Amino acid sequence: MPNPAWTASGGAPAQSEGGNKAVQQFFAILKDSYREAVDGFVIYVMLGLSAVLIAIAASMSFTPVPPEDAFSAIVPQFNLIVPDKGRSSAISLEDRNTFKASDVETAGGGYKLRLTVTATTERSREFDPVEAAGGKSDRPKGDSFRSAVARWSAVTGETVRVDEKGKVNKNKGAKGIDVAVPTQFTVAEQRAVTDGQMEEFLKSQFVMHADMSATVTRSKSGEEPVYAFDVTTTGGSAVKGWPHATKLFFGAATLADNAPLGGTLWLIEDVVISRFGGTFTLLIGMIITSFFIPNMLRKGSVDLLISKPVSRSKLLVFKYIGGLTFMFLVTAFTVGGIWFVLAVRSGFWDPSFLVAIPVLTFTFAILYALSTLTATFTRSAIAAMLISIGFAFFLFVFGQIKAASDSDKVEHPNSEPSFLQTYVVDLGHDALPRTRELDQLVRRAISSGTLTPSARKLLIRTEDTPSLAGTFGMSLFHIAWMLGVSCWWFSRRDY
Amino acid sequence: MAVIETKDLWKTYGRIEALKGVSLRVEKGQIYGLLGQNGAGKTTLIKILLGIVQLTHGEASLFSAPAGDVGVRRRVGYLPEDHAFPNYHTGYSLMDFYGSLYGVSAAERAKRIPDTLEQVGIAGRMHYKIKTYSKGMKQRLGIAQALMHEPDLIILDEPTDGVDPMGRKEIRELMAVLKEKGHTIFLNSHLLGEVELICDRVAILQQGKLVREGTIAELTKTKGTFILGLISGQVFPVDAVTKLGFAVRPVPDSAGHFEIVLNDGQTIEPVMKLLTTSGLTVTHIVEKKQSLEDVFMTTVEGAEPGVDRKRRRARPVGGGE
Ligand SMILES: Nc1ncnc2c1ncn2[C@@H]1O[C@H](COP(=O)(O)OP(=O)(O)OP(=O)(O)O)[C@@H](O)[C@H]1O
Ligand SMILES: [Mg+2]
């Protein structure tokens, strides 16, 4: 029997459950997109590949080297001093101190060890007759360890930029790493370095080079220029800087015998998965989803849908979200799966890699909006696919050009940027969706999650961090206008 | 309140005029048939009602709401011609999808889907992918999806297209049941015999114009034509009857039957009297009824004869491109 609400005169049915109905319609369309996606074979190829990747990741083994060896590998790096937050970004290299770890034993959740620093005595500038005569002077002396700590504690002075070839480049904007020019401290200044400062310094070095928190206490044994410290670290071996033997295929292939865990994970996550895997996932995602909207608009199908009590804009937007959800799930499965097995296998649970899931989905959202726009105008899956993939490629190339143009500007700060740079590259960058910045966002997250601060300093070129509002805002703006135009066109067309 | 109402409805696709001022009205509870040649504009009219195409000029309304109104579509079920269901669905999942769009609750869907598919005779295959269905099965599924949310108005564009004779009969019976329940049905069909059997009213479109409209009885009412036959061996008095003022002609391929056409106000009475007084024995007397097909043919032929013929030779499928 007809519903009494419908037969009541006056047209539209009671709208009491309007919101509920919209939710039901939304989920119906999501479910429909899901059915469509799993109907083809491409999705199985894709999930299969993801599963293979996850299986490969699961076949990796990360075996920490024994504590004695690990600390022997970590502490010599303490000659490299990487500034803490808030200080200059210049690093400094001290090469006259020898750091040695001994008596390593497990203690609680961490380790106990003796750290010995053998420094080089610094010859005082003042003339010392006793020493000149070959005797042992009582005068206080400075040494390389004291001056290293003093330099570490003080504000960095002059710096130079060292380029990739190891040459000093006078130009401030050049590519490379800033290195502090060693400041000379007088003996008196060196003598003023307290035990507390030394302990703080070493503590900081454990964080910088191994991401290990430690308590350091100077022990009175050892005579300067030999210093001894009692160190207790917390946390086990699954820290960024702990050297691990990494093997693939359940031990069949050795990737590294003795490489820091974080560095290995960074290589896998950033280079292998985020770059190649991400590009591949986006590509396949675009291919699969480019059929969604043209199929919906096919003659004979579209009348069935648009005769339902859903507005056309809603249909299109829901369908678009359906595509995004699909991509989100595939990315979440792949990235999440790989992250999970790597974490289980290595014991290193850092969630920053998971940032790739929303960011990849967001990148996809930009491209899929273009695909939707093309599809509503042409009703052709091939056109949607080619145009959106072509655009992705264009954005990638444009991003490279922008990067080249930026570093050119830095290297030639005195020459006027060319017309092309100002009006095409820079304006283009401001106006286009920011896919390159999104990519960098993921890479930054991965590197800060896996690399020790010192490794990050050496491996990753610091760049200005673009504002999140700009990155997402501009991209959202593009998504909005493309969907808006699609909806407008779809709503006024005859089918 | 009219279920469907159009007033001076025009639709042009570029240079093609598909509808040229159509006004019609369908009341609640009717089964209304829309007839016309290919390209006459039947599908166009339906698409305007559902908001699939936009009208160029004039008015069209469903349940007093302007055609294309989103909310009012909840009360309408629609079977398009040439439908292509997404073939990744099974019959059941398609019904479930459309049912959700119509706002039918999950519990209701679980109950109504098997029932409706049972009604159209494909419940046994409901969990198979649509791509495995035959043409007629898809057509039945199409009808089912137009019915499942119990719409007040059911619009069917060639509902029996591709359906076997048994199926057609079942569909006719189904429509009768639906009408009984108070649903209004609006359909397009080329099968005039069927339309005649089930429709209350029909309209004939001819090149975008409404040329005839009325109940089946009104349209098929003859001017008064009788077929008479005499016992074998007797000769029909043609001249005598003609003298009485009736048009007489022999019925071809019959056993000597004659057709007598009455003029307005005349009855067959004088002819019968004449025959009896002449000592002739009438063995066969039938009042000739026009079939809907006859009406359709004469209407369509009579509409714009010259133009239509020429056009049809040049463009076999009614003016399309
Ligand atoms: N989308 C369209 N674009 C251009 N012309 C169209 C379109 N749809 C229909 N037409 C034209 O409008 C006219 C009416 O078409 P319509 O489909 O309404 O005919 P019909 O009566 O349903 O015919 P049939 O019996 O063949 O289904 C035809 O001349 C057709 O070519
Ligand atoms: Mg038609």
Q: Is A101 helix (H, G, I), strand (E, B) or coil?
A: strand
Task: Give A24's DSSP letter.
Answer: H
| A104: enclosing H helix or E strand | strand A98-107
Predicted local confidence at residue A34, as pLDDT: 86
Do A492 and B54 make contact, defined as CB atoms within 8 angstroms?
yes
Predicted local confidence at residue A203, as pLDDT: 78
Residue A233 lies in a domain: yes
Q: Is A316 helix (H, G, I), strand (E, B) or coil?
A: helix
The contact set of A with B (CB < 8 A) is 1-3, 6-7, 9-13, 15, 17, 21, 24-25, 27-29, 31-32, 35-36, 39, 295, 298-311, 492, 494-495
Task: Pick the more confident residue, A192 or A309.
Answer: A309
Predicted local confidence at residue B317, as pLDDT: 44
Closest C-alpha to B150, from B108, B187, B195: B108
Predicted local confidence at residue A12, as pLDDT: 42
First CA to last CA distance, chain B: 38
Q: In which residue are the tokens 């970590």 written?
A: A74
Task: Pick the more confident residue, A262 or A51.
Answer: A51
Identify whether residues A174 and A77 lie together within a single domain.
yes
Residue A120 lies in a domain: yes
Pairing of strands B2-13, A243-248: unpaired
Residue A340 lies in a domain: yes
Q: Does the N-terminal peptide bond of residue A294 adopt cis geometry, omega within 30 degrees of 0?
A: no
Q: b/e for A122-131, b at 16 or more Cβ within 10 A? A: bebeeeeeee
Mean pLDDT of A49-64: 84
Predicted local confidence at residue B218, as pLDDT: 79
3-state secondary structure string across chain B: CEEEEEEEEEEEECCEEEEEEEEEEEECCCEEEEEECCCCCHHHHHHHHHCCCCCCEEEEEECCEECCCCHHHHHEEEECCCCCCCCCCEHHHHHHHHHHHCCCCHHHHHHHHHHHHHHHCCHHHCCCEHHHCCHHHHHHHHHHHHHCCCCCEEEEECCCCCCCHHHHHHHHHHHHHHHHCCCEEEEECCCHHHHHHHCCEEEEEECCEEEEEEEHHHHHCCCCEEEEEECCCCCCCHHHHHHCCCEEEECCCCCCCEEEECCCCCCCHHHHHHHHHCCCCEEEEEEECCCHHHHHHHHHHHHCHHHHHHHHHHCCCCCCC
Angle, in degrees to the nearest 10, between helices A356-378 and A381-411: 130
Identify whether residues A202 and A251 lie together within a single domain.
no
Predicted local confidence at residue B212, as pLDDT: 85
pLDDT band for position A115 (cuts 50, 70, 90): confident
Which ligand has an atom closest to residue B318 CA? 1
Angle, in degrees to the nearest 10, between helices A435-450 and A356-378: 160
E strands along A27-91, which residues? 61-64, 80-81
Residue A144 lies in a domain: yes
Give the tokens for residue B102: 């119509």
Identify whether residues A211 and A297 lie together within a single domain.
no
The contact set of B with A (CB < 8 A) is 1, 13, 47, 50-54, 63-65, 69-76, 78, 80, 82-86, 88-89, 93, 96-98, 100-103, 105, 145, 150, 152, 181-183
Identify whether residues A360 and A412 lie together within a single domain.
yes
Give the tokens for residue A151: 């330099």
Which of A239, A262, A280 is the last residue before a domain boundary?
A239
Give the tokens for residue B193: 């015999």
Residue A366 and residue A289: Cα distance in Å, rounded?
13
Residue A201 lies in a domain: yes
Closest C-alpha to A455, from A186, A56, A80, A105: A80
Q: Is A64 helix (H, G, I), strand (E, B) or coil?
A: strand
Predicted local confidence at residue A10, as pLDDT: 38
Give the tokens for residue A103: 């008596």
Contacts of B27 (CB under 8 A, 6+ apart): B2, B3, B184
- Is the pLDDT at A101 greater than 80? The verdict is no
Closest C-alpha to B286, from B244, B227, B238, B241: B227
Do A6 and B152 make contact, defined as CB atoms within 8 angstroms?
yes
Identify whether residues A56 and A107 lie together within a single domain.
no
Mean pLDDT of A267-279: 79
Q: In which residue are the tokens 């060639």 written?
A: B158
Identify whether residues A423 and A483 lie together within a single domain.
yes
Residue A176 sits in which domain range? 66-239
Q: Residues of B with CB below 8 A from A307's CB?
A: 50-52, 73, 76, 78, 80
Residue A423: left if φ>0, alpha if ψ -120 to 50, beta else—which one?
A: alpha
Give the tokens for residue B137: 């099965």
Do A305 and B84 make contact, defined as CB atoms within 8 angstroms?
no
Which segments of chain B have a pLDDT < 50? 305-321
Looking at residue B304, its amino acid is E
Which of A239, A259, A286 is the last residue before a domain boundary?
A239
Identify whether residues A231 and A312 lie together within a single domain.
no
Predicted local confidence at residue B295, as pLDDT: 76
Question: What are the distances in angstroms from CA A351 to CA A281, A354, A452, A471?
Answer: 20, 6, 15, 22
Identify whether residues A223 and A307 lie together within a single domain.
no
Predicted local confidence at residue B76, as pLDDT: 94
Identify whether residues A225 and A266 lie together within a single domain.
no
Q: Whose CA is nearest to atom 30 of ligand 1?
A: B320
3-class SS shares of chain A: helix, strand, coil, % to 5: 60, 15, 30
Task: Give A369's DSSP letter.
Answer: H
Ranked by mean pLDDT, which of A5-9, A61-65, B202-206 comes out on top?
A: B202-206
Task: Pick the more confident residue, A479 or A454.
Answer: A479
In chain A, the number of structural domains is 2
Residue A148 lies in a domain: yes
Contacts of A132 (CB under 8 A, 6+ apart): none
Task: Pick the more confident residue, B197 or A483.
Answer: A483
- Cβ pair A257, A142 in contact under 8 A: no
Task: Give A156's DSSP letter.
Answer: P
pLDDT band for position A255 (cuts 50, 70, 90): confident
Residue B217 and residue B290: Cα distance in Å, rounded?
10
Residue A193 and residue A153: Cα distance in Å, rounded?
9
Least confident of A12-16, A49-53, B144-148: A12-16
Mean pLDDT of A146-175: 67
Residue A12 lies in a domain: no
ipTM for the predicted complex comes to 0.78
The pLDDT > 70 percentage for chain A reads 83
Identify whether residues A421 and A480 lie together within a single domain.
yes
Which of A213, A239, A265 is the last residue before a domain boundary?
A239
Mean pLDDT of A426-450: 80
Residue A166 and residue B129: Cα distance in Å, rounded?
67
Residue A149 and residue A153: Cα distance in Å, rounded?
6
Q: In which residue are the tokens 């990747």 written?
A: A53
CA A324 to chain centre: 22
Residue A13 lies in a domain: no
Question: What are the distances in angstroms from CA A423 to CA A396, A417, A418, A427, B228?
Answer: 19, 10, 9, 5, 96
Ligand 1 atom nearest to CA at B44:
18
Q: In which residue are the tokens 């986006």 written?
A: A282
Identify whether residues A269 and A172 lie together within a single domain.
no
Predicted local confidence at residue A72, as pLDDT: 77
Q: Is A480 helix (H, G, I), strand (E, B) or coil?
A: helix
Ranked by mean pLDDT, which of A217-221, A461-465, B181-185, B293-297 comes out on top?
A: B181-185
- Whole-model pTM: value is 0.80
Do A304 and B50 make contact, defined as CB atoms within 8 angstroms?
no
Identify whether residues A392 and A304 lie together within a single domain.
yes
Mean pLDDT of A380-390: 92
